[in-house]
Structure 1
Amino acid sequence: MGGPDLSRRSFLALGGAAAFAPLLVRDAFAQLETDTPLHGISVFGDLKYGPDFPHFDYADPEAPSGGRIVTQSPVRIYNQNFDTFDTLNMHVLRGNGAYGMTLTYATLMTGSSDETSSMYGYAAETVSISEDRLIWRFTLHPDAAFHDGTPITAADVVFSLTTLRDKGHENLASTLRGIESVEAVDERTVSVKLVEDAGISTILTTAGCPIFSAAWWEGRDFQGTLSEAPLGSGPYKVGRFNFGTFIEFDRVPDHWAVKRPVMIGRYNFDRIRYEYYRDRTASFEAFKGGSILFREEFTSRNWANDYNFPAVTDGRVKIEEYPDETPSGGQGWFFNLRRPKFADRRVRQALGLLFDFEWTNANIMYNSFERSNSFFEKSESMASGLPSEAELALLEPFRDDLPPTVFEEPYIAPVTNGTGRDRDMMRRALALFEEAGCRLEGRRMLLPSGEHLTMEFLGNSDTFEPHHNAYIRNLSQLGIQANYRIVDAAQYSLRQREFDFDVVVSRFTMAMFPSPFIRLVFGSAGANSPGSFNMAGIANPAIDAVLEKIIDAKTQEEYVTANRALDRIIRAEHYVVFQWHKATRWLAYWDNYDRPATSPKYDTGVLDTWWTRPDRIQATGMRA
């Protein structure tokens, strides 16, 4: 099974503390003109689309609108939960936010799915930048409006940014604190001033924030749970919903931005519906019965054995392996370093050696996957060989505090003999345990404190149970008492949020441009912040320093160099037992749809650019 996911090269070597001085926003976006209205911005290199571009290449301007799609979401953002929802506010810590709420909000700018670091005007018609690149002035499009017809004003943008900065989910607010001030210059002009050491990620995040109606939110508690659909401005508005079961989004037919180049040919479905199931078997049966119309499959057993039901064999359901050109990210078992038993990296490395990927892949996953060793798989940011001079410039100041292996070839998990009981791996693991002061007495592995080493793997689905059981069996061979604990969706979300676990499975895909997201996963500031994505509780000064270099990188070369340095540290510290990845995405869908001839490079484009074919719906026997 593949778990859920939850969107560069040269470095000037400087000495001492200067090597870690923040790169200012004024050093980034160097190719952009100052004090000139711009239709878009690009972190690295030129924009693909010029000022007069008609539409994105992967969108079909002749795409018909209508019909519906019913699906589930494989990703989560901020407070979302894969299995349930109880609030329509996804931008705060409290509650479990609904999928799809981003469809209801316009943003100042939006990215394209065939570039890695560009944004184009959406609610903002243009943006201009001061010479020092600390002041960004957005001019709103004259047609920008909320769903009730009231115009989006600069005051609404000011309210949105300050509210998210001061009251929003920490994983968003932490980046927006790079805003020193935001003010409405006039009805349609917003001026955002960044703090002196803000990274470029601050402005990218700012440009991509939802725009709320200040008038609608007046008198309401932004940090509370929300059962009433807030006034939006995006291509969809909230339709019917039932907490914990489903939510629908209805297309706004006269949406103000329908003729904007960034929107032409996009968002063609009249209705998008997200279904919630707490059991993967139940959700698969719902797909077979036509209650779900599009499904991305993550379970290799299902993909290998179960897509042979009548609707597949007679062509009413299509299955395809869609090429995935995005970096695969890293999925694995995250050790909770807040618990002393995982404090020693040698213990963590030993535990990792007891996972037999080769046996698991062959016997449980139909040899569908490759072993992962990094959060940067399938990208140039994955470290290899000995560190370059540029990487060493980042790592040397912390040599005394880092494991020596950081300065060697990066760690790659050894290949087992595939028997599920590789004695060589067990001997290597035992040697590491003993080196860490542990000892095997009888059938119990004891920590240096004399405490029996136990592990609870926390999960919310029995789909993952065979994979855990194979790992647990090997752990037990060295006297480690482990179990797989399945809890319901609400408890799972709460325990993750409060870091109440020994080991948990997560997957994180790194951005292809400087983004504050990476700080949320690995930065010390989130190690003990409830709701943080820092599942392992990493608090490492060397990592913090490298993260700032990643976030504030002003060239592609610099970005890649810093990522590779980070990759070396993470792999040497053994915070995660990496699992697996693959080069394609498994898609299955009822044959109701068509799509543009050109696909986006970094997305499937399903909700974004596909459309309904009524003739095919009739052929499948489904309703529109």
Structure 2
Amino acid sequence: MALNRRHLLQGGAATVIAPALGSASSFSIASPANADTAAAEPAWRHGLSLFGDVKYPADFKHFDYINPDAPKGGAVRQIAVGTFDNFNIAVSGVKGSMAPIGQIYERLMEPSLDEVATQYGVLAEAAQHPADFSWVIYRLRKEARWHDGQPVTPEDVVYSLEVLKKFSPMYASYYRHVVKAEKTGEREVKFSFDSPGNRELPQIVGELTVLPKHYWEGTDNQGHKRDISQTTLEPPLGSGPYRIKDFNAGRTLTLERVKNYWGANLPARIGQNNFDEMRYEFFRDSTVALEGFKGDQVDWRIENSAKNWATAYDFPAVAEKHVLLEEFPNRSSGIMQAFVLNIRRAQFKDARVRNAFNWAFDFEEMNKQLFYGQYIRINSYFAGSDLASSGLPEGQELAILETVRDKVPAEVFTKPYQNPVGGNPDAVRTNLRESMRLLKEAGFEIKDHKLVDAAGKPVAVEILVEDPSYERVALFYKPSLERIGVATSVRVVDEVQYENRKRNFDYDIIIDSWPESLSPGNEQREYWGSQAADAPGSRNTIGIKNPAVDALIDRVIFAKDRAELVAATKALDRVLLWNHYVVPQWNYPKVRTARWDRFSHPAELPKYGLSGFPALWWFDADKAAKIGKRS
């Protein structure tokens, strides 16, 4: 279960805002003592959970991990990498440089950050669904309001689902199992699903970002009718804790706290969203962004570069403790980050070729030279979580794999997956020989120092890069590929061009990552499912169309308990690995942060919330006074 989350708009490949799993013995929806029966009207619930009862009762005051007395006020300046020319999330989604816009909207429910895959009502005060999960009804709060004072209505919810599915490939894929949304009462909206048994769907629709129908069907200040199918820089109407105050297109965006925000006293909102202003500075280059932070142009930074973490923070403000460096553990997610081999391209259709590219990658030497030995190699699509496969399959996992035995590589059953290990000349030579053996077996050979296919056509690849900090990674890999005869180029493009090419699958190799919650579900179809392979803008950037993968994704989605979910996920992981779809990269189990010491946070941050910044933090005037005025 994963989509965008408001709590951590921090950027970085390993930053994940998704509910996480702890231990649980059953796969169930929280319910009162008088559990639903087939004949009874489903109970109304203030919170939904995939794994057991919800922690907080219906009359809870606030989450345990917040400071209910956190002061309101002050400002925080943050980094946004990229640019923007649009505020309409229906055509862009809430991601990347558009992430700050998500804070002007509310959703039906909001996740708790100290529980397992659990949500509580925000726009909705309650939800009900039958035992077979074939539909869900959300009942809206009477007090829910747009910033213009008009109430949030079921019509808004229905409209939001329809336009998001129509104009956004991401939302269309994510909500494709929701076949109908309809008003069923004065404040009630019902979502019907395409089949029963999908336990995650009631909560997935609870994540829906709700848009104002009356605003988008109205006219702007010049009397022009708005068009939700088009981009716009007109500040949109929201219902959340912030609104757009001002902006300089592509350069800065300032959000201001809505002083009369209708939801300020909701249990799921108390103690949060404490800054009067949140300013985002947009940087095209991560190096420039770092210099902006060091020059006190921004207050907070997520550091994704091991080199920078080791070498770039030796400046006076750090020594004087005006800038604090802190790592926060990531307990909420797993991840796959990798060189993606676009298997829509003819040269990557053979798994042996893809495997050869992995044998040519010397991670150990790269880790030493570029990353100061900080990283560990990824060997799972769920790396860093208890969902990662290891050893040989057994028990329920083996039983699940037996159902697809004739559709998966034989090694799934006979060999634990391992990446090649380099790091010294002898190992590298051995690995390159294995790479050449695989290529020869696949019908390729070396002619005039060039790798050619059976028709004599030279093999050439382009590694497409958006972030200049990844250029050195691609350039490190390039000579290794050239040693096996592959003509390799590295091209760095801007965010707009990169997104357009990525959306249309116009690349040979890119670097991509797939954050994984600890409760994987429907998003796996978007990541690896056959239907997503040809859908422009989908997260299936590899191009996987594999019936065994599709079958295992369904086993994950329709798992009946936690044990089956874990077994099915490990089985899926194992099949993805042995198809050699990617060249796995690396992972770091913590989030590195640097901040100017002007802020405070609750004594104990939530287990699954990483740093919790900025939603749970507040401006500390006493700390700010000690380090002086901002530049």
Deviates more, 1:593-602 or 1:92-101: 92-101
Q: Residue type of the partner of 2:183?
A: A
Q: Deviations over 1:53-91 (max 9, x none)?
A: 221111110100111111135xxxxxxxx5121111223
Q: Secondary structure at the match of 2:516?
A: coil
2:44 corresponds to which residue? 37
Q: Residue type of the partner of 1:29?
A: I
Q: Deviations over 1:586-606 (max 9, x none)?
A: 100000000001111122101
1:64 corresponds to which residue? 71
* Residue 574 of structure 1, CA deviation: 0.8
> What is the number of residues matched between the two proteins?
598
1:21 corresponds to which residue? none
Q: Secondary structure at the match of 2:565?
A: helix
The 5-angstrom pairing of residues 562-581 of structure 1 reads 562-581=568-587
* Residue 161 of structure 1, CA deviation: 2.2
Q: Residue type of the partner of 1:238?
A: I
Tell me whether 1:252 sits opposite 2:251 in the alignment.
no
* Residue 254 of structure 1, CA deviation: 1.7
Distance, in Å, in 2 between the alignment partners of 1:116 and 1:515 is: 14
The 5-angstrom pairing of residues 469-618 of structure 1 reads 469-603=475-609, 604-618=611-625
Decide whether aligned partners of structure 1 residues 121 and 3 sit closer, same or farther in structure 2, where only a CA change above 3 A counts. Answer: closer
Q: Secondary structure at the match of 1:102?
A: helix
Does the 8 A contact of 1:68 with 1:272 survive in 2? yes
Decide whether aligned partners of structure 1 residues 551 and 274 sit closer, same or farther in structure 2, where only a CA change above 3 A counts. Answer: farther
Deviates more, 1:232-241 or 1:97-106: 97-106
Q: Residue type of the partner of 2:99?
A: Y
Deviates more, 1:318-327 or 1:566-575: 318-327
* Residue 186 of structure 1, CA deviation: 2.7
Distance, in Å, in 2 between the alignment partners of 1:419 and 1:299 is: 26
Work out which of the residue numbers 340, 345, 367 in structure 2 matches 1:339. Answer: 345
Does the 8 A contact of 1:93 with 1:531 survive in 2? no
Distance, in Å, in 1 between the alignment partners of 2:167 and 2:119 is: 23
Deviates more, 1:311-320 or 1:121-130: 121-130
1:79 corresponds to which residue? none
Decide whether aligned partners of structure 1 residues 31 and 396 sit closer, same or farther in structure 2, where only a CA change above 3 A counts. Answer: farther
2:139 corresponds to which residue? 139
1:19 corresponds to which residue? none
Structure 2 length as normaliser, TM-score? 0.90
Distance, in Å, in 1 between the alignment partners of 2:259 and 2:425 is: 59
Distance, in Å, in 1 between the alignment partners of 2:361 and 2:426 is: 9
2:82 corresponds to which residue? 83
Distance, in Å, in 2 between the alignment partners of 1:138 and 1:131 is: 16
Distance, in Å, in 2 between the alignment partners of 1:612 and 1:94 is: 29
Tell me whether 1:237 sits opposite 2:237 in the alignment.
no
Q: Secondary structure at the match of 1:494?
A: helix
1:158 corresponds to which residue? 158
Q: Secondary structure at the match of 1:99?
A: helix
1:108 corresponds to which residue? 108
Does the 8 A contact of 1:128 with 1:138 survive in 2? yes
* Residue 222 of structure 1, CA deviation: 1.8
Distance, in Å, in 2 between the alignment partners of 1:184 and 1:273 is: 38
* Residue 348 of structure 1, CA deviation: 0.6
Decide whether aligned partners of structure 1 residues 535 and 135 sit closer, same or farther in structure 2, where only a CA change above 3 A counts. Answer: closer
Q: Deviations over 1:239-298 (max 9, x none)?
A: 211222121211112211111110011111111222221111110111011111100001
Does the 8 A contact of 1:514 with 1:553 survive in 2? no
Distance, in Å, in 2 between the alignment partners of 1:230 and 1:121 is: 23
Work out which of the residue numbers 20, 43, 54 in structure 2 matches 1:47. Answer: 54
* Residue 44 of structure 1, CA deviation: 1.1
Q: Deviations over 1:524-561 (max 9, x none)?
A: 11112111111111111111111122223232112111
Decide whether aligned partners of structure 1 residues 127 and 461 sit closer, same or farther in structure 2, where only a CA change above 3 A counts. Answer: closer
Q: Secondary structure at the match of 1:307?
A: coil
Decide whether aligned partners of structure 1 residues 176 and 387 sit closer, same or farther in structure 2, where only a CA change above 3 A counts. Answer: same
* Residue 179 of structure 1, CA deviation: 2.5
Distance, in Å, in 2 between the alignment partners of 1:478 and 1:185 is: 63
Q: Residue type of the partner of 1:214?
A: K
Q: Residue type of the partner of 2:622?
A: D
* Residue 169 of structure 1, CA deviation: 1.5
Does the 8 A contact of 1:323 with 1:583 survive in 2? yes
Does the 8 A contact of 1:140 with 1:188 survive in 2? yes
Does the 8 A contact of 1:411 with 1:572 survive in 2? yes
Q: Secondary structure at the match of 1:422?
A: helix
**Percent identity among equivalent residues?**
36
Q: Secondary structure at the match of 2:279?
A: strand
Does the 8 A contact of 2:445 with 2:452 survive in 1? yes
* Residue 345 of structure 1, CA deviation: 0.5
Does the 8 A contact of 2:134 with 2:198 survive in 1? no
Distance, in Å, in 2 between the alignment partners of 1:125 and 1:140 is: 6
1:23 corresponds to which residue? none
Decide whether aligned partners of structure 1 residues 439 and 587 sit closer, same or farther in structure 2, where only a CA change above 3 A counts. Answer: same
Deviates more, 1:283-292 or 1:95-104: 95-104
Decide whether aligned partners of structure 1 residues 431 and 132 sit closer, same or farther in structure 2, where only a CA change above 3 A counts. Answer: closer
Distance, in Å, in 2 between the alignment partners of 1:420 and 1:591 is: 48
Q: Residue type of the partner of 1:498?
A: N
Deviates more, 1:128-137 or 1:35-44: 128-137
* Residue 329 of structure 1, CA deviation: 0.3
Distance, in Å, in 2 between the alignment partners of 1:421 and 1:359 is: 11
Q: Residue type of the partner of 1:233?
A: S
Distance, in Å, in 2 between the alignment partners of 1:56 and 1:64 is: 17
Decide whether aligned partners of structure 1 residues 556 and 198 sit closer, same or farther in structure 2, where only a CA change above 3 A counts. Answer: closer
Q: Secondary structure at the match of 1:145?
A: coil
Does the 8 A contact of 1:395 with 1:542 survive in 2? no
Q: Residue type of the partner of 2:173?
A: S
Distance, in Å, in 1 between the alignment partners of 2:214 and 2:233 is: 18
Could you tell me which runs of 5 or more consecutive residues in structure 1 were left unpaired when the two chains were aligned. 11-26, 74-81
Distance, in Å, in 1 between the alignment partners of 2:12 and 2:133 is: 41
Does the 8 A contact of 1:356 with 1:418 survive in 2? no
Does the 8 A contact of 1:9 with 1:558 survive in 2? no
The 5-angstrom pairing of residues 93-492 of structure 1 reads 98-165=98-165, 167-197=166-196, 199-219=198-218, 220-419=226-425, 422-492=428-498
1:4 corresponds to which residue? 13
Q: Secondary structure at the match of 2:371?
A: coil
Distance, in Å, in 2 between the alignment partners of 1:176 and 1:198 is: 16
Distance, in Å, in 1 between the alignment partners of 2:148 and 2:92 is: 28
Distance, in Å, in 2 between the alignment partners of 1:41 and 1:201 is: 10
Deviates more, 1:213-222 or 1:595-604: 213-222
Could you tell me which runs of 5 or more consecutive residues in structure 2 were left unpaired when the two chains were aligned. 1-10, 37-41, 219-225
Q: Residue type of the partner of 1:161?
A: L
Does the 8 A contact of 1:175 with 1:201 survive in 2? no
2:5 corresponds to which residue? none
Distance, in Å, in 2 between the alignment partners of 1:139 and 1:440 is: 66
CA RMSD of aligned residues (A): 2.3
Distance, in Å, in 2 between the alignment partners of 1:473 and 1:412 is: 23
